[in-house]
Amino acid sequence: MLAGKHILVGVCGSIANYKAAELIRLFVKAGAEVKVIMTQDATTFITPLTLATLSKNPVLVEFVADKNGTWNNHVELGLWADVMIIAPCSANTLAKFANGLCDNLLTATYLSARCNVFFAPAMDLDMWQHPSTKRNLSSIQSFGNILIKPESGELASGLHGEGRLAEPQTIFEEISNYFKLSSDFANLNVLITAGPTYEAIDPVRFIGNHSSGKMGYAIAEEFANRGAIVTLISGPSSLSCTSKISITMVTTADEMFNETIRRSDNAEIIIMSAAVADYTPVTKSDLKIKKKDDRFAIEMKKTKDILLEVGQRKKSNQFVVGFALETNNALENARKKLIEKNCDMVVLNTLEDSGAGFTSKNDLEKNLATNKITILSKEGKVFEFPLKNKNEVAKDIVDRIKSER
């Protein structure tokens, strides 16, 4: 799976650097072309000569390679790579990635990378458990980066616990599996809706909901990583996605309906994860409504049911996934949606579970992005999953779709 692949390895300052040498050797032995970027601190633990010899390419450390002005182009490096792996990733570099700091060649290349980025942290137990590290981990995973978890064992400090860099063979297998998965949905057209809709009351006010769009965006990224041709229709959101994904922004439920139906005929997999408003104001004021009366009523009308329409139009070669956010009778309501909307699968989450459903104010303050789901299949099977990061939840959903199709 790695033959001819371009792998960019970032090495940070850590006592675990000796494992990077073995990892590079495994990549080269598997037929990959490997380039290495080291931070300046990393060179105090292992020499660039060692990693250059193993990678068969010069190791890059500084922006400027010599006094004549030859420079290492971080943009070209980011474009060259099929995948980027930071191993070991120190707490310092982790913090820089999370906050967009760009003070060395490695961090600059990370910001320029268009490929998927894996990171394998290595640090002592107290550093790994620190709240700031947990926040930084959550941040860079929310950007779509992929964590290779550290292992538990004896640490350089003498303490015992989590923080050891994953073994080279483990990291090698993760990268190999990534390239294997990248052909799962090769050239399949996948249509995904995400985020909220905003229904205008007047020029400055609207009715909306707390959907962040993170779940739908994560699913879109996962499908794109697995070779699919992804179209994302998103309600208002500050999120961004990779250039591999074609995105159309909408605001209202009516706009989302029109865009979804227009594009649905060409899709083989349709994922309806958007939190579309069920009702919209009958009329919208052209002017800002002034606060005058003690009571104010808005007449509402039903919006078009996008999932119902997609289900009714479904072709034999299409696989339709609905989402159900419930507050009570969760399984019963999800099964009802599965049947009535002619879905092939429904992803259920309930606000009764902490950390599931919409991103809460508390989650936003802690920079968390989690979900806890149950998947119902057309055949009546029920699959429950524990609370996970939304990127990991996206993998579970896409894995299930692969099995059910």
Residues labelled as active-site residues: 209
Asked whether 201 and 291 are in contact (CB, 8 A), the reply is no
Size of the chain, expressed as the number of residues it contains: 405
Strands 33-38 and 151-154: what pairing? unpaired
Asked whether 23 and 168 are in contact (CB, 8 A), the reply is yes
Look-up of token digits 């994904």: 245
Residues 6+ apart with CB under 8 A from 106: 10, 12, 37, 38, 39, 86, 93
Give the E-state strand segments of 235-302 in sequence order.
Answer: 246-249, 269-272, 279-281, 300-302
User: Which residue(s) pair with 42 in the sheet?
Assistant: none
Strands 116-121 and 83-89: what pairing? parallel
Measure the CA–CA gap between 330 and 322, rounded to whole angstroms: 14
Asked whether 215 and 273 are in contact (CB, 8 A), the reply is yes
Q: At what angle do helices 168-181 and 17-29 cross, to 10 degrees?
A: 40
Asked whether 230 and 245 are in contact (CB, 8 A), the reply is yes
CB burial of 233-244 (b: ≥16 within 10 Å; e: otherwise) equals bbbbbebebbeb
81 is written with which tokens?
Answer: 């790579």
> If 0-12 CB within 10 Å is exposed, 13-18 middle and 19+ buried, where does residue 47 land?
middle
Q: At what angle do helices 48-55 and 17-29 cross, to 10 degrees?
A: 10
305 is written with which tokens?
Answer: 């049911």
Residues 6+ apart with CB under 8 A from 348: 323, 324, 326, 330, 331, 334, 373, 374, 375, 376
